[in-house]
Structure 1
Amino acid sequence: MAVPVTDIDGKLVIGFDRQQLEYYLSQARASQAPSFGASVADAAKYSAAHGLGVLSGAYIGAVKPGMPAAQAGLKPGDVITRIDATAVNTASDLNLALSRLEKGARIRIGFFREGQPRQAEGLL
């Protein structure tokens, strides 16, 4: 009996392991994805560790000047909650959403700054 074997950037997936296939595909996309230019962490972990209550999203710790995050006006301390129509609950969600986009794509970013919801637009 034949079993499908899928090669994704040198990583072999035997059979129809959907979770493993999606993981390797997201990793392959992330390595090709445009740089956003922000250091992020899970907002829930950061906010709990700093006594800020529990927040959901991607907490921005640093922003590189001239990169898409800075050009969109994001600052350290902002919490990204949405990229276009995709909800961002963790730093991994942000990375996955960005990995699905191509360089030069226009994006709409939903985020919180000092407890206030905001939106920004930018190019990757």
Structure 2
Amino acid sequence: MAVPVTEIDGNLVVGFDQRQLEHYLSQAKAASAPSFGAAVADAEKYTAAHGLKVMRGAYVGSIKPGLPAAVAGLKPGDIITKIDAAPVNTAADLDRALSGLEKGARVRITFTRDGQPRQAEGLL
């Protein structure tokens, strides 16, 4: 009787070890995902906690220079509300929208800055 052997990024999984397979697959996916370069939090929680007009989206706390968020012109304090056609109501929504894109993909970012809606485009 044969035993299946799976290789994921040089890691061998012998048999049907579901936990080990999922672990290596998540590591491989994380390593290949493009970095957006922005630290974000749930805008609704952030704005409510700081006595601001409550808004939904991904609140941008900081930007890493040279990465897609900075190149697209995002700044700390911006609230991302949409990636392409995908609505962004939480920081997790932003992560989900970006995780479905490949490195080099062109992305349209809809955001609010100082209460005004804006759009920018960038490459991941």
| TM-score bracket for the superposition, by shorter chain length | 0.7 to 0.9
In structure 2, distance between residues paired with 1:92 and 1:8: 23
Q: Which has the larger radius of gyration?
A: 2
1:33 corresponds to: 33
> Cα–Cα, structure 1 residues 75 and 50, in superposed 2: closer, same or farther, change >3 Å?
same
Contact 1:77 1:113 in 2 (8 A): yes
Q: What is the Cα deviation at residue 27 of structure 1?
A: 8.3
Letter in 2 for 1:68: P
* Aligned position for 1:10: 21
Matches within 5 A, 1:1-124: 7=18, 10-11=21-22, 29-124=29-124
Q: Count residues with an aligned counterpart.
A: 108
Are the structure 2 counterparts of residues 27 and 123 from structure 1 closer, same or farther at C-alpha, using a change threshold of 3 Å?
same
Cα displacement (A) at 1:32: 2.8
Partner Cα distance (2:51, 2:93) in 1: 23
Between the two proteins, what is the percent identity of the paired residues? 69
Q: Which amino acid aligns with 1:112?
A: T
Query: Which secondary structure state, in structure 2, belongs to the residue aligned with residue 104 of structure 1?
Result: coil
> Does the 8 Å contact 1:8/1:28 carry over to 2?
no
| SS of the residue 1:98 aligns to | helix
- The runs of at least 4 aligned residues of structure 1 exceeding 4 Å deviation read 5-9, 25-31
Query: Which sections of structure 1, spanning at least 5 residues, go unmatched?
Result: 13-24
Structure 2, gaps ≥5 residues long: 1-15
Q: Return closer, same or farther for 1:100/1:30 CA change in 2, 3 Å cut-off.
A: farther
TM-score by length of structure 1 reads 0.78
